[in-house]
Structure 1
Amino acid sequence: MTDTSVAPQAHDYSKTLFLPQTAFPMRAGLPEREPEILARWYEIGLYERLRQAARHDPRFILHDGPPYANGHIHIGHALNKILKDLVTRSQQMLGYDSNYVPGWDCHGLPIEWKIEEEYRAKGLDKDQVPILEFRQECRAFAERWVEIQREEFKRLGVIGDWAHPYLTMSFAAEAQIARELMKFAGSGQLYRGSKPVMWSIVERTALAEAEVEYQEHVSTTIFVKFPLAGGGAVDERLAQASVVIWTTTPWTIPANRAIAYSTEIPYGVYEVTAAPEGNWAKVGERYLLADGLAEGVFRAAKVESFARIADVTPDMLAGLAARHPLAGRGYDFGVPLLPADYVTADTGTGFVHTAPGHGADDYMTFVRNRATFTAAGTPEVPHTVRPDGLYFDHVPLFAGARVFDDQGKEGDANARVIAALAEAGMLVARGRLRHSYPHSWRSKAPLIFRNTPQWFIPMDKDLAAPGDTLRARAMTAIRETRWVPAAAEHRIGGMVENRPDWVISRQRAWGVPITVFVDKETGETLVDERVNGRIADAFEAEGADAWFADPSGERFLAPDFDPARYEKVDDVLDVWFDSGSSHAFTLEQRDDLKVKRRSPGSPIAPLVAGKLHDQVIYLEGTDQHRGFFHSSLLESCGTRGRAPYDVVVTHGFTLDEQGRKMSKSLGNTVAPQDVIRQSGADILRLWSASVDYWDDQRIGPEVLKSVTDQYRKVRNSLRWMLGSLHHFSGHDIVAVERMAELERLMLHRLAELDQVVREAYAGFDYKKVVTTLVPFLTGDLSAFYFDVRKDTLYCDPISSTARRGALTVIDQIFRCVTTWLAPILSFTAEEAWLSRFPAAVSVHLERFPILPATWRDEALAEKWGLVRRARRVVTGALEIERANKSIGSSLEAAPIVHVADPAVQQALAGLDFAEICITSAITVVPGEGPAEAFRLDDVAGVAVVVAKAEGRKCARSWKISPEVGSDPEFPDLTPRDAKAMREWRKAAHA
């Protein structure tokens, strides 16, 4: 009969147990605690200490892609900066001098636009303000937001040289940007040309592709007749036909100068045989159309019936010309038909309306066929639309008509053109199309392609040798760069392979000017080192304002050149040129950022300990393949023949929990400031590390709740280790060879994790770090090892080798896990580390521990894999008994474990399986066991019958054992606990 009573003379033994003791609180209180830790970091000079500690190590430099200084940071900023901090902290702990200098983009339209908005709100006109005064307001605006954003970024726990960031508007930066531009001019890589570029009517400037976003837009569409003018090898039926084009921009018809066709598409002449009275497409009219699109054209034109009356081959189209649909009203020139490979039979008519001043393909068609255009009466690309979106006065019929107004709303140009075409009898049909259309990502207004003089950097001009073009250099550099994820290489490669010349000029005020002079007679750009030197020196001393302070440029030209002979260019540089040049005024000029670059063509070695070499990494959002990554690549390849980076890492966009883009109108934004205020920055940091950031990621209340639960489990594991280690000192260390198998198994697991964690950090795979460490903490440790070892740790005597061995291992686990987590949970890891080592400076000055290779024991791990599988069956059986209230604690049980699998029998031999299963006793017997025994489907050969433990309950350890009472001095304890009491008393009286 089992007797679980405790003897009447039992005492309160709780004070004799080695229970966890720690000041590390269960409740994190991160919003209050983190600012204290942050203040300490700056008080002790953590950034400077990191540099000093790693001064002899290879350098790993993360060059910051500068955010715009024009508003509070959003969740995308937070993800970006946290990821950068994960990189720099982890690479430092892998053995690098991993330096991070933050930067800001301070020029350009985002800031200028804000100042203009303030002007408009006050009823002021920006153009009436002196340019230097306006630039000073832009500078002050940027300075204010730099300070605000700096504090917001620091609150995320990001460590860097915040006291000495780089600013594109600093005088030194502006001087270097000008030098970089003058390098392009000096090498013949700068030219001024008139070609169509993306133009913002609202912002009055050209835009780069990186400044454009595509939004849904409803356009008016028209089908227009261009009567053939004869010529070429045509028969009578073809001569009477009209070529029909389709366009979504009716306002560009006045700029039409050609029609493009395909040599691969079958065409025919079609005649209208029936149509409603008063229809635009009339009976008897003949249209030249692509065969595959004819039916759709006639449907749009409301034609009741039609007939195909002639075949048309590409040879028949060669040399043909049409008349402009507004001929006789100021448009009396030929419209040649020209072959082009971009014409498809997907939509429209199979013929493409070509306006060289309003499209990239249209312009290139003009360039390739300049002689044909000249013969047709169009020697130059026409200028039809002014910077403000109005037709020039010289445009027949439409002078003063407006394409879009200052707010981006459609003007009267489309309506006036359509009305004129209808009046001339040249309209076939019209409609509406909802499609993706380019918009300015700042003003959100629709854009147009507009022919305008701009400054360009050519992609295909031979440089040092034939074939050595900027495009070729960039493509080679892309192949020599490590891209993470690897698919990013194809993305940027496709962009560079197909991109047009780089338009670098902007018609704005706030930026670094294009510091060149043009000979008024020859049109040649002046290249002179003396002039360039004076410009750079002036910028170093006064900033780029020096250029605008001297309208004639005399201070730069004289005494070597006559200012009256030269035009001083006052356009400013595309801000992507600014940021693309940032490597030149940071990485190459700061001693703490200079690296030994690998030679072009050499492979990029793995970023793992033992193979460390200098590295430069860029990390930004995936949109920067056409922005910062792109402009940096072109700028550096154009001036240095190579990329400025060795590694490029990209992240996706942050969406809400439903996968939608965040917007204020939807009310689905998540502000990092709010998350920090409510939960702390470490929650944001853990979220950033947990998501698959290489793709788009999601965030919202439910996501953050899950992350918080995950954090709580991690914190509780750290807290328990700290509490247990309260009873551990340097004198308690046990050598590995004297440890029990379970401890050696945990050391093996640490050695396994060490390799995984190092490789994950080296590969920038932070999700893998989290998905490796969190299950280890919650599964291997909290739910298994810690649970099994609590009895030993709490109850064993002071002298117990088992207890001291467990503490030795827990100390190693704590050191490893806390340092491994430090890059991610930077505040929590610091708090835990200082709780364990109050005299330490910071966990972030530690390196990832080097673990002995001898800890790896695959045979032991395989054996304990079997032990843990058998344990699962026991714990499953105990759960059912608890649910049935047959037992309370597992210590009330003494299961009988039937083991049919010889391998499991061997694994369990010699082990205290009761201790491992946290029962008071256990019996392992060979065989399948009775039918009613508990089994798990996925663990063959193990069956469990739960029986109750025999004996009395120990008043100290609560184990039930027949041995309780065998020690006369402590009749309510087991012999083990009685020994512990004697040692405890001796120590207490020592």
Structure 2
Amino acid sequence: MTEERDYRSTVFLPKTDFPMKAGLPQKEPAILARWEEQALYAKTREARAGREKFILHDGPPYANGDMHIGHALNHILKDMVIRTQTLLGKDAPYVPGWDCHGLPIEWKVEEEYRKKKKNKDEVDPVEFRAECRAYATKWVDVQREQLKRLGINGDWDKPYLTMDPQAEGTIVSELLKFAESGQLYRGAKPVMWSPVEKTALAEAEVEYEDIVSTQIDVAFEIIESAVPELVGAHAVIWTTTPWTIPVNQALAYGPEVEYVALNDGGQTLVIARDLIGQAGQRGLLDTTKLNVVWGGKGSDLAGTLARHPMHHLGGFFAEPRPLLPGDFVTTDSGTGLVHMSPDHGEDDFDLCKAHGIGPKFVVEADGKYRADWTWLGGQGSVINPKFNAPDGAICSDLREAGGLLAASADYKHSYPHSWRSKAKVIYRCTPQWFVPMDRESDGKTLRQTATQAIADTRFVPEKGRNRIGAMVEGRPDWVLSRQRAWGVPITLFVNRETGQYLADPEVNARIIAAVMQGGVDAWSDERAQEYLGDQYRAEDYERVTDILDVWFDSGSTHAFVLESGRWPELSWPADLYLEGSDQHRGWFQSSLLESCATRGRAPYNAVLTHGFTMDAKGLKMSKSLGNTVSPLKVMETNGADIIRLWALSVDYTEDHRIGDEILKGVADQYRKLRNTFRYMLGALADYDAAEALPVAEMPELERYVLALLGRLDATLRQAVADFDFNTYVRALIDFCNEDLSAFFFDIRKDSLYCDAATDPKRRAYRTVLDTLFQALLRYAAPVLVFTSEEVWQTRYPDGGSVHLLEWPEFPTAEADLARWAELRALREKVTEAIEPLRREKIVGSSLAAEVTVPETAPEANLAELFITATVSRGQGDGVAVAPTEKHKCGRCWRHLPEVEDDGALCARCDDVVSTLETPL
């Protein structure tokens, strides 16, 4: 037996200082600091100057509170878009921005006032707005650092802010375009109103939650009708908003609905025939004793008058209530008769208006009835459940008056709430400023223009088109006005006699210039005459003091950011808007409407929508449940690259999950990717371009791997075009794990470790490794922004940033992919067949196994592919394995015929060792 010798020093093992342990929380801030010091964003702009542009317009996050996981996902997706487009060689600038006006900030400042026992209404508005501005500035600075920590590359030193005077001036300019083109009107109609926040709300500011309300049945005595049997009977209405009864002005019936007048020995009640059963269940009547007095269609009720149950109060309540035909009346629930309060419902308002009945403006901004209102004046708030309860003031008074037939506090239903204060909202009729959806301008309505723009826009995923399309199709006129202080003012002068607003371009130009210079504080009574000039007298005009819906602010950002020239690298329209699916009714839609009204098309060519991040169980995150995941904490423990890999691995087009176990799985995938790069760094130690071999001289295996790389390249290019980042990351990981680590690297480690440095096979392998390194690191760079920089700097300490590189170019190779798929499937079968022998220690490794494969197996160097001692062909379809009796080379550990004894060298290793300067 040959004497055992140690040949380890003769084996070409990979060498690298690149650590297996990532230590991302410590390393990433240092890399980030280096990027700032080197002005990476500016260098990127310089490197792509003059190239084809790709413009992503950043939807402004709101400037309050720390970054949450939804922020992180959103900005990582945006960064991925920007970085992949940049990688493709395009000039893709990224200007981040913030929404700074609006109720949430105002609410926070008011909270501080309340703590100090101060009344906001007693504070100088200029001082109040200054505090709001300071609050927003603080959170812009906080969020900016948090987003930068995620590795988001952008113009952080020059973001856009909607509270910037030039932005405010642009928003005013956009508003006045509406005014000058006649796409603005002031009208009194019911709008969503928050009694807590004392302001109108847009649909996008409302969310729906399940609540339990009081349901009541109220009797209105019929005093006049073309049907004699009905006089003295009681028309019955059912409602879940008892507080609207004090503002009732009419009843509505369905013209085609079948109604009956019936009694059970008591009052005669008029209800829909189909709802008798429900009425009985609520205790209105005894269905076993019914006597039908009359039956007929709703149209028979035309001209019928009833009286309010509180008619004894006189005045408004003594006026007769007409029964009116309403196409919206159904027999799904209730009584088939609907009480009408034009102050508090859209259908109510429209129907009553058509019959000359107007709103009374009874409920004040804080939800209380007007102090001078006969019934319950000064009381409320109307959203208080106790006020509406069966034993509350309204029901008690109705019961005493004999008008309350039934009441119970058990009706479960969905109800609108303010998404900021979380308080219930009401429909409240107030004078507001609106943009009409169906008024023609240049031959088309805004709804028609927006609908066409939706058809012309690309949506990712495609279902977004139907979502926003349905919303635009059914939305009411856009309510622009808010009754608050912190925002861009509606800079209009209204003629006190005619009620018409002034649309003088010269006046408007002066207003715009003043706001551009001095911000929103420039809109004041003191400067009214200055703006009106010599042609108009300030005393003849009302200066509007409402502010704009913040959705108009953000919907106008395309004008300020893309068109103003402040960021000359940007241009209009944007190639892409990218936000969460809630923005179909928010920013996507307000931007669409604003741009369609002023420019005739959408401000974007494509819209990408992502879903919401749920907890590990698929539940919505909330502080009360304690199931939130903070990206800040994840970065502290795992690093930003782990969050990025998670964000780009999920199917963002749907709601998706995050949690500790999910992040552990992501960290495991990260380690595999990191180790792939670590292996390549080590295997390419001292590699020189002179070592490279042309593709034509490479072994078949190398050409096959280059073909796989070409296929991966095509997949990734298509994924970028489709914004399909889940596929992008999955394809990259699978290639590294399955095609490289488990296959190519595994097979070629023998050549890398044991072939001579000049051996063509080893040179071919290292040539392909270099090609893989250059390509894969570029592919990975938009995903793992910090790690890819660390890898690049390890190999090229003076090579600049990996993020300035472009999409890789490499030599292509042809391969019979179907044949190779068959070979790899056979390799898996061989590996499975060897495993039992390894477990039973019959063989130490696959190198000690002799394998028999079917005669039909493709031709190839099978022993090399399978990493076995020998491979022979035999009869049958299966794979057979047996331990080899051949001796093992002391250096490469292969079992070969020429090895005379265990520990001796094979011919190859003997040649390599003999040529080394200091062989052992």
Which of the five TM-score ranges fits, normalised by the shorter chain?
Answer: over 0.9
Q: Which of 924, 939, 963 lines up with 2:873 in the alignment?
A: 924
Q: Which of 429, 453, 456 lines up with 2:434 in the alignment?
A: 456
Q: For 1:814 and 1:708, how far apart are their aligned partners in 2?
A: 21
Corresponding letter in the other structure for 2:521: D
Q: For 1:597 and 1:504, how far apart are their aligned partners in 2?
A: 24
- Report the equivalent of 1:472: 448
**Cα distance, 1:242 vs. partner?**
1.8
Deviation per residue, 1:903-938 (Å, 9 max, x gap): x2xx1x2x221111111222223x11xxxxxxxxxx
Corresponding letter in the other structure for 2:466: H
Q: For 1:363 and 1:616, how far apart are their aligned partners in 2?
A: 41
Q: Which of 635, 652, 659 lines up with 1:693 in the alignment?
A: 652
- Report the equivalent of 1:245: 237
Structure 1 residues 173 and 876: CA distance shift in structure 2, 3 A: same
Structure 1 residues 583 and 416: CA distance shift in structure 2, 3 A: same
Structure 2 residue 429 is matched with structure 1 residue 429: no
- Report the equivalent of 1:522: 498
Deviation per residue, 1:398-427 (Å, 9 max, x gap): 11111248xx77547982221221112111
Gaps of 5+ in 2: none
Structure 2 residue 510 is matched with structure 1 residue 554: no
Q: Which piece of structure 1 moves more, 676-685 or 655-664?
A: 655-664
Structure 2 residue 276 is matched with structure 1 residue 294: yes
Are the counterparts in 2 of residues 949 and 961 from structure 1 also a CA contact under 8 Å? no
Are the counterparts in 2 of residues 357 and 382 from structure 1 also a CA contact under 8 Å? yes
Alignment map for 1:834-845 (pairs within 5 Å): 834-845=793-804
- Report the equivalent of 1:718: 677
**Cα distance, 1:295 vs. partner?**
1.0
**Cα distance, 1:67 vs. partner?**
1.0
Are the counterparts in 1 of residues 243 and 388 from structure 2 also a CA contact under 8 Å? no
**Cα distance, 1:640 vs. partner?**
0.7
C-alpha RMSD of matched pairs (Å):
1.9
Q: Which of 305, 310, 313 lines up with 1:326 in the alignment?
A: 310
Alignment map for 1:840-989 (pairs within 5 Å): 840-852=799-811, 854-857=812-815, 860-897=816-853, 899-900=854-855, 902=856, 904=857, 907=858, 909=859, 911-925=860-874, 927-928=875-876, 941=877, 943-964=878-899, 972-985=904-917
- Report the equivalent of 1:438: 416
Structure 1 residues 349 and 759: CA distance shift in structure 2, 3 A: same
Q: For 2:526 and 2:10, how far apart are their aligned partners in 1?
A: 88
Paired residue secondary structure (1:895): strand
Structure 1 residues 814 and 265: CA distance shift in structure 2, 3 A: farther
Q: For 2:274 and 2:891, how far apart are their aligned partners in 1?
A: 91
Deviation per residue, 1:298-341 (Å, 9 max, x gap): 22026333244432113312232322222232312222222223
Identity of aligned residues (%): 50
Structure 1 residues 965 and 971: CA distance shift in structure 2, 3 A: farther
Corresponding letter in the other structure for 1:288: V
Are the counterparts in 1 of residues 218 and 237 from structure 2 also a CA contact under 8 Å? yes
Corresponding letter in the other structure for 2:497: E
- Report the equivalent of 1:609: none
Corresponding letter in the other structure for 1:146: V
- Report the equivalent of 2:296: 312
Corresponding letter in the other structure for 1:450: R
Deviation per residue, 1:938-966 (Å, 9 max, x gap): xxx2x222222233221111112231259
Q: For 1:670 and 1:916, how far apart are their aligned partners in 2?
A: 46
Q: Which of 371, 389, 392 lines up with 1:393 in the alignment?
A: 371
Alignment map for 1:255-266 (pairs within 5 Å): 255-266=247-258
Are the counterparts in 1 of residues 31 and 786 from structure 2 also a CA contact under 8 Å? yes
Are the counterparts in 2 of residues 85 and 159 from structure 1 also a CA contact under 8 Å? yes
- Report the equivalent of 2:546: 571
- Report the equivalent of 2:14: 20
**Cα distance, 1:569 vs. partner?**
0.8
Q: For 1:856 and 1:195, how far apart are their aligned partners in 2?
A: 70
Give aligned pairs, total.
914
Deviation per residue, 1:467-486 (Å, 9 max, x gap): x1111111111111101110
Are the counterparts in 2 of residues 950 and 962 from structure 1 also a CA contact under 8 Å? no
Are the counterparts in 2 of residues 588 and 594 from structure 1 also a CA contact under 8 Å? no
Corresponding letter in the other structure for 2:626: G
**Cα distance, 1:241 vs. partner?**
2.5
- Report the equivalent of 2:689: 730
Corresponding letter in the other structure for 2:523: W
- Report the equivalent of 1:279: none
Deviation per residue, 1:806-851 (Å, 9 max, x gap): 1111111222221112111111112112222222212211222235
Alignment map for 1:142-541 (pairs within 5 Å): 142-232=136-226, 234=227, 236-271=228-263, 273=264, 283-301=265-283, 303-304=285-286, 305=288, 306-330=290-314, 331-370=317-356, 373=357, 380-404=358-382, 411=387, 415-432=392-409, 433-465=411-443, 468-541=444-517
Q: For 2:700 and 2:256, how far apart are their aligned partners in 1?
A: 76
Q: Which of 729, 739, 745 lines up with 2:704 in the alignment?
A: 745
Q: For 2:754 and 2:685, how far apart are their aligned partners in 1?
A: 15
Q: Which piece of structure 1 moves more, 171-180 or 869-878?
A: 869-878
Corresponding letter in the other structure for 1:203: E
Q: For 1:593 and 1:402, how far apart are their aligned partners in 2?
A: 54
Corresponding letter in the other structure for 2:6: D
**Cα distance, 1:454 vs. partner?**
0.9
Are the counterparts in 2 of residues 251 and 413 from structure 1 also a CA contact under 8 Å? no
Deviation per residue, 1:257-313 (Å, 9 max, x gap): 122222343222222x2xxxxxxxxx3322221222111112202633324443211
**Cα distance, 1:717 vs. partner?**
1.1
Deviation per residue, 1:691-719 (Å, 9 max, x gap): 11111111111111111111111111111
TM-score (norm 2): 0.97
Structure 1 residues 19 and 251: CA distance shift in structure 2, 3 A: same
TM-score (norm 1): 0.90
Structure 1 residues 741 and 423: CA distance shift in structure 2, 3 A: same
Paired residue secondary structure (1:445): coil
Moved beyond 6 Å, runs of 4+: 594-598
**Cα distance, 1:494 vs. partner?**
0.7
Q: For 2:701 and 2:567, how far apart are their aligned partners in 1?
A: 47
Q: For 2:92 and 2:527, how far apart are their aligned partners in 1?
A: 47
- Report the equivalent of 1:937: none
Structure 1 residues 595 and 130: CA distance shift in structure 2, 3 A: closer
**Cα distance, 1:31 vs. partner?**
0.4
Are the counterparts in 1 of residues 256 and 299 from structure 2 also a CA contact under 8 Å? no
**Cα distance, 1:593 vs. partner?**
5.7
Are the counterparts in 1 of residues 178 and 184 from structure 2 also a CA contact under 8 Å? yes
Corresponding letter in the other structure for 1:175: G
Structure 1 residues 17 and 592: CA distance shift in structure 2, 3 A: farther
Corresponding letter in the other structure for 1:522: T
Q: For 1:455 and 1:206, how far apart are their aligned partners in 2?
A: 11
Q: For 1:428 and 1:413, how far apart are their aligned partners in 2?
A: 14
Paired residue secondary structure (1:633): helix
Paired residue secondary structure (2:500): coil
- Report the equivalent of 2:129: 135
